[in-house]
A and B are shown apart, each in its own frame.
Chain A
Amino acid sequence: NAGVTQTPKFQVLKTGQSMTLQCAQDMNHEYMSWYRQDPGMGLRLIHYSVGAGITDQGEVPNGYNVSRSTTEDFPLRLLSAAPSQTSVYFCASSPVGTSGGEQYFGPGTRLTVT
C-alpha cells in the first residue's frame, strides 16, 4: 500500500492564481481531511469528509474548496491564492469510527504564494 500520497511536493504561485492540491489514499478509508501547518500554530483543519459526496468545513475553510467524488481522492482547491495561504498542507485519512481513530498523514505540500 502506498498509504496517503500528495502532489505536488512543492509549489510556488502568484497572488490570484488558482491551483489544486491532490490527495489520494489506497486504504479504503472513509474519512479524509486537509490541514495547514504554520509555524507556532500547529495543524489547523481546513475541510474534512466522512465519505464520498460528503464534505464539511473545519477551523479555517475560507479561500479553499473541496469535493469528494470517490473514496480514494480528496482534492483541495485554492480559488484565488493569497500570500496568507503560504503554508505546508497535509492530507490525512482514517477509518470512520464512532469515537475517532488514527489519522494517516501524507508527506505534505509546501506552498508559497508571492
Chain B
Amino acid sequence: GENVEQHPSTLSVQEGDSAVIKCTYSDSASNYFPWYKQELGKGPQLIIDIRSNVGEKKDQRIAVTLNKTAKHFSLHITETQPEDSAVYFCAANGGTYKYIFGTGTRLKVLA
C-alpha cells in the first residue's frame, strides 16, 4: 500500500520569508496529491492540490511541485504571514480512494 513521509515536523520562519514542506510517497499508482491546512480545533481544509499529469501548480502565495520520477512533492508558501501558522498535511491517493496522509508539519510564522 501507499506510504507517505512528510518533513519537517515543525518549521519556524520569520514573517515575509518562504516556507517549504516536503513529502515523499511510495506507490507509483498515486495520481492525486492534496495539501490540507488545519487550524487549532478545526477539521483540515484543502489549500491546493496537484494531479500526476502536472509538474507544478500555483495559487497566489502557495505553490505545489511534483516530481513523479523521484516520488516527491513539495508545498511552497511565499511571503508568509502570521495567519499561515497552522498544521499542514500532505496526502496521496494510491491511485484509489484510500488516501494516505503524512504526519503533518506545524508551521509557525514569527512576527
Q: Interface residues, chain A, CB within 8 Å of chain B?
A: 4, 31, 33, 35, 40-45, 48, 50, 56, 58-59, 90, 92, 96, 99-103, 105-108
Contacts and interface: CB of A to CB of B under 8 A. Distances in A.
Given A100-B34, A102-B49, A106-B43, A41 B103 contact: yes
Given A100-B31, A102-B49, A103-B99, A42 B43 contact: no
A4 B43 CA distance: 10
Interface of B: 1, 6, 9, 31-32, 34, 36, 42-46, 49, 51-52, 89, 91, 93, 97-104
Given A33-B99, A42-B6, A92-B43, 8 more contacts: A43-B89, A48-B98, A58-B98, A90-B43, A100-B31, A100-B99, A102-B34, A103-B34
- Among B31, B93, B97, find the residue whose CB has the most chain A CB atoms closer than 10 A: B97
Contacts of A41: 103
- Among A35, A43, A58, A59, find the residue whose CB has the most chain B CB atoms closer than 10 A: A43
A1 B102 CA distance: 30
17 contacts: A33-B99, A42-B6, A43-B44, A44-B101, A48-B97, A56-B97, A58-B98, A90-B44, A99-B31, A99-B32, A100-B31, A100-B32, A101-B32, A102-B34, A103-B34, A103-B46, A107-B42
